[in-house]
C-alpha cells in the first residue's frame, strides 16, 4: 500500500489515480459526514467532501508525516461539513421568513395572543 505522502505528491503532480486512492482511504470519514448531511442530497454532499479533499491536498506544503496528513484531510472534510450546515441553516431561515411574509400578505396574523 502506498504511503499517503507519496500519493499526495503524485496528486500534486497531476496523477488522478492517486487521488482516487486517497479518496478511497478517506471513504469512512466522507461517509460519516454524508450520513449526517440530512439537508443535502447524499451524492451532492459526497461530492462536496471529495472536493474538500482535493482542495486540501492542493494547499498542503508538507506531507512527510502520515498522521498529520490524515488529520489535515479529516479536518478539511469536517470544516466543509460545518460550512454546508451553516449554509443550509441560512437557507432554511430565509425560507421561513418568506413563508411568514406570504402568510401576512394573505391576511394571516403572525401575532399570537
Express each pLDDT in 7-30 by its tens digit.
999 999 999 999 999 999 999 999
pLDDT at 81 over 60: yes
Looking at per-residue confidence, does 40 or 62 come out higher? Answer: 62
Please compute the mean of the pLDDT values over residues 37-61 and round it to a whole number: 91
pLDDT at 32 over 60: yes
pLDDT band at 38 (very low <50, low <70, confident <90, very high): confident
Domains and CATH numbers, the chain: 4-88 (1.10.1740)
Q: What is the SS3 string spanning the chain?
A: CCCHHHHHHHHHCCCHHHHHHHHHHCHHHHHHHHHHCCCCCHHHHHHHHHHHHHHHHHHCCCCCCHHHHHHHHHHHHHHHHHHHHHHHHHHHHHHHHHHHHHHHHCCCCCCCC
pLDDT at 36 over 70: yes
Looking at per-residue confidence, does 51 or 102 come out higher? Answer: 51
Looking at per-residue confidence, does 15 or 102 come out higher? Answer: 15
What pLDDT was estimated at residue 113?
Answer: 46
Amino acid at each position: 500500500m502506498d504511503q499517503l505522502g507519496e500519493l499526495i505528491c503524485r496528486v500534486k503532480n497531476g496523477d488522478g489515480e492517486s487521488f482516487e486512492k486517497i479518496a478511497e482511504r478517506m471513504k469512512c470519514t466522507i461517509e460519516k459526514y454524508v450520513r449526517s448531511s440530512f439537508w443535502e442530497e447524499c451524492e451532492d454532499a459526497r461530492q462536496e467532501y471529495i472536493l474538500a479533499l482535493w482542495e486540501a491536498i492542493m494547499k498542503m506544503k508538507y506531507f512527510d508525516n502520515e498522521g498529520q496528513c490524515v488529520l489535515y484531510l479529516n479536518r478539511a472534510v469536517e470544516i466543509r461539513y460545518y460550512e454546508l450546515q451553516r449554509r443550509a441553516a441560512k437557507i432554511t431561515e430565509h425560507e421561513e421568513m418568506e413563508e411568514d411574509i406570504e402568510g401576512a400578505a394573505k391576511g394571516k396574523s403572525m401575532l399570537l395572543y
